């Protein structure tokens, strides 16, 4: 389905037909045809070809805000978040009144689970488009994730008043009702959402949980089985299967299943229960694994005889592949701390990261953090995945939070310094590294990075020599020892 927005559905492609014709009239000969070709390719779901055509359109007419907005949509549907943000930003700089770009940005931030940013953009959009029910539903998602229950409820109700067929709004309203244990009302809301969107896994699972909470176990089992029959198989299939088995053998003794999280490119699933994971599910839960930390832990390789390279040991990879359409952002979940569900989300993220599905990993880690904000491992792993995606700001923020939870973690502090260095925040990086070697005097990699920063960025030769010499004392066989000795020879102290 095309993730574009008009007054009825999806992301906006920008202008009305009349506005588009006026815009095209101002374009060059190449611009209009290429822009229309890109639009058709976008509507056909051929994102790669659409991107090429729309790039040509923006090159031919760089002041055409609509073309930049189209290009942003194409990038967003292809999972190229950074490029999408840049294109939307160009569109807004060219035409501040193109308010539909705000909607697109809001959807992008929802996709990335950046709730404050999503709320800001959607609020700006609704100031001009207060009659758009879909906009209110998406704002409700962001508010719910920010634990603004009263505001979220108003947004969902506004969405339903304006667009009674909005399944997302009904599901969101049901979540809020379930949060207050108003299970009868929640059941009706989930049932309405499922009627409007029969393929919605979120509404199906939520309705099953609501029925079970009210003692309607037969109805709950039937709904759970429908959920289990979905294709592709849900990521929490085993946990739900265990609950169904327990319900059919010992009715009433097993609480609803916890969310393990959605598979990539599938509609998200949100469990409204705040109870612990079913005992049978707990037995099959893998043990938590400590953060690998080997993505960027080690020091940079030497650049040759003349100096020391400042690159991380492992080059961060760009984002790969597309995720679900931006017109279907993550469904809100309940805010209470839920360590068991958070552990499952953490494991899902670690597996996704091992499979090089980095965007899915980031989403899983953020879900784990939402469920258990004090989970050190989730913040640490989020930093690793964000760094590999070259989102150095997000990586730094994740590791800064992890440090507040575990200030003595050498790996975390070192990685945090690397992220700061990648953002060109050299003074802050040095501060963290000096703290690292103060707490852990034998950390050769910390001394090595300090030597690099003092020699290449701050230009403090005495301090650089001090730390480089310390590296040689601690690790004479360090892979960068020849480069260090060469530098020391050419920079006598």
Q: What does the domain layout of the chain look like in residue ranges?
A: 165-253+280-284, 339-490
Fold match, 165-253+280-284 / 339-490? yes
**What six digits make up the tokens of 269?**
């699933």
The reply to whether CATH 1.25.40.10 applies to domain 165-253+280-284 is yes
Q: Which residues contact 426 (CB under 8 A, 6 or more apart)?
A: 420, 453, 457, 458
Whether the Cβ atoms of residue 285 and residue 258 lie closer than 8 Å to each other: no
The proportion of the chain whose per-residue pLDDT surpasses 70, expressed as a percent, equals: 75
> Across the chain, which distance is largest between two alpha carbons, in Å?
81
To the nearest 10°, report the CA torsion of 114, 116, 122, 124. -140
Exposed / middle / buried, residue 486 (Cβ in 10 Å: 0-12, 13-18, 19+):
middle
Q: How far is CA 438 from CA 410, 417, 433, 441, in A?
A: 11, 14, 8, 6
**What six digits make up the tokens of 96?**
């501040």
**What six digits make up the tokens of 18?**
């009349």
Q: Which residues contact 354 (CB under 8 A, 6 or more apart)?
A: none
Residues found in the chain: 493
**What six digits make up the tokens of 423?**
């953002």
CATH architecture of the domain with range 339-490: Alpha Horseshoe (1.25)
Residues forming a β-bridge with 308: 302
Q: How far is CA 371 from CA 261, 272, 366, in A?
A: 11, 12, 9
* pLDDT average, residue stretch 405-409: 86
pTM: 0.51
pLDDT digits (tens, 9 = 90+) for 329-339: 233 333 334 56
* pLDDT average, residue stretch 383-402: 90
pLDDT digits (tens, 9 = 90+) for 149-195: 999 999 999 999 999 999 999 999 999 998 888 999 999 999 999 99
pLDDT of residue 236: 76
Q: Which residues contact 287 (CB under 8 A, 6 or more apart)?
A: none
């Amino acid at each position: 389905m095309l993730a574009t927005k008009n007054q009825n559905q999806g992301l906006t492609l920008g202008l009305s037909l009349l506005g588009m014709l006026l815009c095209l009239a101002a374009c060059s000969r190449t611009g209009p045809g290429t822009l229309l070709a890109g639009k058709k390719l976008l509507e056909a779901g051929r994102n790669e070809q659409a991107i090429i055509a729309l790039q040509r359109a923006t090159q031919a007419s760089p002041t055409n805000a609509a073309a930049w907005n189209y290009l942003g949509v194409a990038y967003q549907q292809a999972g190229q978040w950074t490029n999408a943000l840049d294109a939307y930003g160009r569109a807004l700089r060219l035409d501040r009144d193109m308010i539909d770009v705000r909607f697109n940005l809001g959807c992008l931030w929802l996709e990335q689970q950046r709730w404050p940013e999503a709320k800001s953009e959607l609020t700006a959009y609704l100031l001009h488009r207060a009659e758009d029910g879909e906009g209110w539903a998406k704002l409700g998602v962001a508010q719910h994730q920010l634990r603004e229950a009263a505001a979220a409820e108003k947004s969902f109700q506004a969405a339903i008043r304006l667009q009674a067929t909005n399944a997302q709004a009904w599901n969101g309203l049901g979540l809020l009702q379930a949060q207050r244990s108003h299970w009868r009302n929640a059941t009706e809301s989930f049932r309405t959402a499922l009627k409007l969107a029969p393929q919605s896994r979120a509404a199906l699972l939520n309705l099953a949980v609501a029925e079970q909470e009210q003692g309607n176990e037969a109805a709950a089992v039937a709904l759970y089985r429908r959920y289990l029959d979905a294709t592709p198989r849900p990521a929490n299939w085993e946990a739900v299967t265990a609950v169904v088995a327990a319900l059919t053998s010992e009715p009433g003794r097993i609480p609803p299943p916890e969310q393990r999280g959605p598979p990539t490119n599938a509609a998200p699933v949100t469990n409204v229960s705040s109870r612990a994971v079913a005992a049978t599910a707990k037995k099959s839960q893998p043990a938590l694994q400590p953060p690998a930390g080997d993505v960027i832990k080690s020091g940079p390789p030497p650049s040759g005889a003349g100096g020391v390279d400042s690159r991380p040991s492992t080059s961060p990879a760009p984002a790969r592949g597309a995720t679900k359409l931006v017109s279907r952002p993550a469904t809100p979940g309940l805010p209470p701390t839920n360590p068991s569900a958070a552990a499952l989300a953490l494991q899902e993220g670690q597996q996704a990261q091992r499979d090089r599905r980095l965007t899915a990993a980031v989403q899983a880690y953020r879900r784990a953090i939402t469920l258990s904000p004090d989970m050190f491992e989730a913040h640490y792993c989020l930093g690793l995945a964000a760094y590999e995606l070259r989102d150095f700001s997000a990586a730094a923020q994740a590791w800064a939070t992890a440090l507040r939870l575990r200030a003595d973690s050498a790996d975390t502090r070192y990685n945090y310094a690397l992220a700061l260095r990648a953002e060109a925040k050299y003074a802050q990086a040095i501060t963290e590294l000096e703290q690292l070697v103060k707490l852990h005097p034998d950390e050769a990699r910390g001394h090595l990075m300090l030597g690099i920063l003092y020699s290449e960025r701050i230009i403090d030769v005495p301090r650089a020599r001090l730390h480089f010499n310390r590296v040689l004392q601690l690790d004479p066989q360090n892979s960068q020892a020849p480069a260090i000795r060469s530098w020391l020879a050419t920079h006598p102290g």
